[in-house]
Amino acid sequence: MIGCDLCFHLDGRTSCNPLLVGGEVIGSVLMAHADPLSEEHRLRVRDSVTQAAPVLANLRNLGIAQLRAATDSLTGLPNARAVQDTLRLLVAQGSRMLWPLGAVLLDLDHFKEINDRFGHGVGDEVLAAVGVALQSTVRESDFVGRYGGEEFIMLLPDADRDTTLQVAERVRSAIADIDILGGDSAVTASFGVAVFREDAADAARLVRNADRAMYRAKANGRNRVEMFTLDADAEGGSSPGAIGATPAAS
């Protein structure tokens, strides 16, 4: 008799049948039964498991392929396609539930200079480290993804302007603490914040307005968080919601 961690300590009688596909065990079927199985029932279970194994293997492979297609291989974050799908889903959810959705776009400052000075390998390390900083700083309910290049996005369900600004500032600080380039150079990012439905009535405008706020953060010195406002955007100046550290050298 061979016991496993799953069934060995269970009370009563159990039967465990491995799911074998091409000699690989992809799982098992555990059955609990009061009486011993007859030879007929044992063979019937074995045949059923044998027939189910390739079907389950195909479903598993499909799931893996879908996950890989939606994941950025460098950072492990959802990629641009997954970002668009999640954005539409969360905006629709916010419309139904009548709650806000905070959107934060961030772009790494002077990333081309990082690649030129330290090499693309180090640039990739920076992007991966930013991905870790994002995942470890945001709330469990939040979504983070790589929007493209050195640009990332955060989507914060049921987050008003103040909450979204606070999360963005925590992430800004976490990125500034990344120590890959050495003491003579820092990793920083510029952030733009917009909130559905206060700043935008649909998904496209939400991202566009967060993007406009992000470019205002770039114009105002980088390494800072800017909140989208109609007045500030029209005037091209600082918004009342702007926060940030002392700007890094441009």
Residue 4 lies in a domain: no
Are 185 and 234 found together in one domain?
yes
Beta strands across the sheet bearing 143-148: 143-148, 151-157, 101-108, 189-196, 224-227, 243-244
184 Cβ neighbours under 8 A, 6+ residues apart = none
Q: Looking at residue 3, what is its pLDDT?
A: 54
Q: Looking at residue 247, what is its pLDDT?
A: 41
Are 120 and 24 found together in one domain?
no
Q: Looking at residue 111, what is its pLDDT?
A: 95
Are 26 and 60 found together in one domain?
yes
Give the structural domain span for 36. 13-69
Please pick, among 125, 150, 151, 169, the residue that the annotation labels catalytic: 150
Instruction: Kindly state the helix (H) or strand (E) to which residue 17 belongs, with its residue range.
Output: strand 13-21
Are 161 and 206 found together in one domain?
yes
- Rounded to an integer, what distance in angstroms lies between the CA atom of residue 168 and that of residue 176? 12
Among candidates 248, 227, 77, 74, which has minimal Cα distance to 154?
77
Among candidates 200, 94, 206, 187, which has minimal Cα distance to 147?
206
Dihedral angle at the C-alpha atoms of 154, 159, 162, 164, nearest 10 degrees? 0
Are 60 and 86 found together in one domain?
no
AA letter at 168: A
Q: How many domains does the chain have?
A: 2
Are 27 and 95 found together in one domain?
no
Q: Looking at residue 246, what is its pLDDT?
A: 39
Q: Looking at residue 49, what is its pLDDT?
A: 84
AA letter at 156: L
pTM, to two decimals: 0.74
Residue 145 lies in a domain: yes
Are 239 and 152 found together in one domain?
yes
- Told to judge if 140 belongs to the known catalytic residues of this protein, a careful annotator would answer no
Residue 88 lies in a domain: yes
> Which residues does the chain have with pLDDT short of 50?
1, 235-250
Are 175 and 122 found together in one domain?
yes
